[in-house]
């Protein structure tokens, strides 16, 4: 049976689902983007070290049992020889929309995080896009 599928697969047209999460981070009028990949490992983070002594990290974590995903974001500022967490956010991703085969975008609003140490703020917004494509 597997050999028949292997022979037919190159001639098959299949639907492919992809969920991408993009965060746009701005500090001192400098904008940077961070694409965050889906993971089941809670220790894997995507990180931006910003020139202004801020660090932005994000994670799209999927539960291996329920297959539910959530976007977790963290903002740190540098303090002496380490980074100190000053903001954490967690948002549930709508995976049902992706599973239904629809193109959809889920936005998570604008977050503004002020650091009294540096007397300026970091702002960020994230969006998750579910794209449906055809593989041939």
Q: Is residue 4 part of a domain?
A: no
- How high is the pLDDT of residue 5? 42
Is 1 within a domain?
A: no
Residues 86-134 have pLDDT tens digits of: 999 999 987 666 666 667 788 888 999 998 887 889 999 999 887 654 4
pLDDT of res. 7: 47
Phi-psi region of 80 (alpha: psi -120 to 50; beta: other; left: phi over 0): left
28: pLDDT strictly greater than 60: yes
CB atoms within 10 A of CB 3: 7
How many domains does the chain divide into? 1
The answer to whether residue 11 is domain-embedded is: no
Q: Is 3 part of any domain?
A: no
Give the long-range contacts of residues 97-102, CB within 8 A, separation 24 or more: 97/130, 98/17, 98/19, 98/130, 99/17, 101/15, 101/17, 101/132, 102/130, 102/132
**Residue 39 within any structural domain of the chain:** yes
Query: Rounded to two decimals, what is the model's pTM?
Result: 0.77
């Amino acid at each position: 049976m597997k050999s028949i599928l292997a022979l037919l697969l190159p001639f098959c047209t299949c639907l492919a689902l992809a969920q991408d999460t993009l965060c746009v981070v701005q500090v001192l009028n400098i904008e940077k983007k961070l694409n965050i990949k889906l993971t089941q490992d809670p220790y894997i983070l995507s990180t931006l070290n910003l020139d202004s002594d801020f660090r932005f990290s994000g994670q799209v974590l999927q539960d291996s049992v329920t297959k539910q995903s959530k976007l977790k974001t963290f903002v740190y500022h540098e303090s002496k020889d380490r980074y100190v967490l000053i903001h954490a956010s967690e948002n549930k991703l709508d995976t049902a929309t992706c599973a239904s085969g629809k193109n959809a975008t889920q936005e998570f609003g604008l977050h503004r995080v002020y650091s009294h140490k540096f007397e300026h703020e970091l702002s960020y917004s994230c969006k998750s896009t579910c794209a449906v494509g055809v593989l041939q």
